């Protein structure tokens, strides 16, 4: 996978107390040129019960969104099963193997990072981030959670992404935010 494709966005997921917030920036970059400010890289799936966000090539990501939606339908909305089956296909299918993207998928109960290497990773602390500003957003979100500053999960996600956008040239502050789970449906 080339860094140019995988690392040109920021997606952050924060899962806490049965609630999932998924936030993504809107910047579309090719090499060192910004082409678009307001892309939507986060979406609801499975009748609004599951969230998914991507970092990487847009065409590849849309292909993966479609495949993931098909897996959700095939397995009756079972997030964990659909995630594992997509990861298997992604790793073994000749065409899918060439896709350059990463996905974060989740609901109020489970959160996963999916990659073309067959990864299905569930974080210990309910926080995941991908893309060029992912480590900045991840660190900021964890710091805010540990400091127990009294912010809601959505507020923590917005603050963490704002910090990432201030540091990462491939991340902007035009956010798309989706929520599911307790108080977020």
Residues with a known catalytic role: 9
Which residues face 130 on adjacent strands? 11
| Distance from C-alpha of 99 to C-alpha of 80, rounded to nearest angstrom | 21
- For 120-145, give one letter per residue: b (16+ CB within 10 A) or e: beebeebbbbbbbbbebbbbbbbebb
Question: Which residues contact residue 117 at a Cβ distance below 8 angstroms, ignoring those fewer than 6 apart?
Answer: 91
Which residues face 120 on adjacent strands? 114
Most distant pair of Cα atoms in the chain: their distance: 47
- For 9-20, give one letter per residue: b (16+ CB within 10 A) or e: bbbbbbbbeebb
Note whether 114 and 89 are within 8 A (CB): no
Q: What separation in angstroms does the CA of 101 have from each of 11, 44, 158? A: 12, 18, 23
């Amino acid at each position: 996978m080339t860094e140019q494709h995988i690392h040109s966005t920021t997606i952050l997921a924060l899962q806490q107390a049965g609630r999932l917030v998924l936030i993504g920036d809107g910047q579309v970059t090719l090499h060192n040129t910004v082409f678009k400010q307001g892309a939507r890289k986060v979406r609801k799936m499975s009748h609004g019960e599951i969230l998914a966000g991507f970092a990487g090539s847009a065409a590849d990501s849309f292909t993966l969104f479609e495949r993931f939606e098909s897996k959700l339908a095939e397995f009756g909305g079972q997030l964990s099963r659909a995630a594992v089956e997509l990861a298997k296909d992604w790793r073994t299918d000749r065409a899918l193997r060439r896709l350059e993207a990463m996905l974060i998928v989740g609901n109020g109960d489970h959160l996963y990072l999916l990659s073309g290497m067959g990864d299905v990773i569930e974080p210990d602390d309910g926080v995941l981030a991908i893309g060029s500003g992912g480590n900045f957003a991840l660190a900021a979100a964890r710091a805010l959670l540990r400091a127990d500053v009294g912010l809601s999960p959505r507020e923590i996600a917005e603050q963490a992404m704002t910090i990432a956008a201030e540091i990462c040239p491939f991340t902007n502050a035009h956010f798309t935010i989706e929520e599911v789970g307790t108080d977020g449906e």
